Amino acid sequence: MEILAFGVQADEKPLIESAFAGHHEVRCLDVFLNEDTAPIASGYETVSTSVNAELGARVLEVLAAGGTRMIAQRSTGYNNIDLQAAQRLGMTIARVSYYSPYSVAEFAWTLAMAVNRRVVRASTRTRDFDFRLDGLMGRDMHGRTVGVLGTGKIGEAFTRIAHGFGMRLLGWDVAENPVCRELGMQYVPKEQLLAESDLITLHVPLMPETTHLLDADALKAMKDDAILINSSRGGLIDTAALVTELRAGRFAGVGLDVYEAEAGLFYVDRSLEAIEDDTLARLGTFPNVLVTSHQAYYTEDAVGQIIDATVQNVLDYTAGRRSGNVLVPRS
């Protein structure tokens, strides 16, 4: 069987081809799966997709009409998939339920330290041989308060690093993590966490209940000089409300690896085009904002684990097995 893989980055292609070698043939495409590209999958029983694939009902119907019966998504999140439509169409949907939490946690800290110590501004200056320190002053993290929204595997890894910095730890989640408790984390209501934290980081999945978890009111509840980091899902923050607060001169720094309207933008070269998204364009004008292109997971370790799990998901499908990665079972 030949698998069609959409949204494959250049670094990923040899890893995917090597992982599938000896099992199935794989055809890798750099285009992302959406309504325009879905017809390419005609004749492919199994399709693998990236996190930014558009898998709404219409796309799934096009895939099903072309003979696709199994979709193996190379990500943990699946808010982009209409699972009810997939079940109705008799399709099997699998994801990657686990990969290195350190990849995302470490990158979240990279963003936090970069905006705190003005690393991008400093680098830009020194490339022009401007070695002034004006405007580059940051703050020690030691002794300050960090608020971790979501204390699962990634939130736990982030908390371990924060503990190493010697920070006061506040957490918020539907269930407490005993490891975080042992590290000294105090679980508090979201309102208290927002009001007291010097650094706030998001590590919760995007669901209807968490969409705009940080809305206008939540953002106003934060300290004026807080640092905000989001390496989870863009929809967790009301970006328009965030821009309003930034225009008012609030927040010491904001690091965003995700953006709620990133589909169709991230992972694509738009450098020669006019960006029609006014909100994203406005974010890029603030000197205290750093936006990266959903790369927190992008380490050799994490990507390798994602690909290995994807291969196993396909092998399980062909063998009629069902694992914990299956979201919609084979009918």
Please give the order of strands across the beta sheet that includes 326-328: 25-28, 2-5, 46-49, 70-73, 92-94, 326-328
How many angstroms separate the CA atoms of 260 and 262, rounded?
A: 6
How many angstroms separate the CA atoms of 76 and 95, rounded?
A: 6
Q: Which of 12, 156, 260, 262 is catalytic?
A: 262
Q: Which of 233, 245, 250, 260 is catalytic?
A: 233
330 catalytic? Reply is: no
233 catalytic? Reply is: yes
Q: Which of 74, 95, 118, 294 is catalytic?
A: 294
294 catalytic? Reply is: yes
Report, as residue numbers or ranges, the catalytic residues: 233, 262, 294
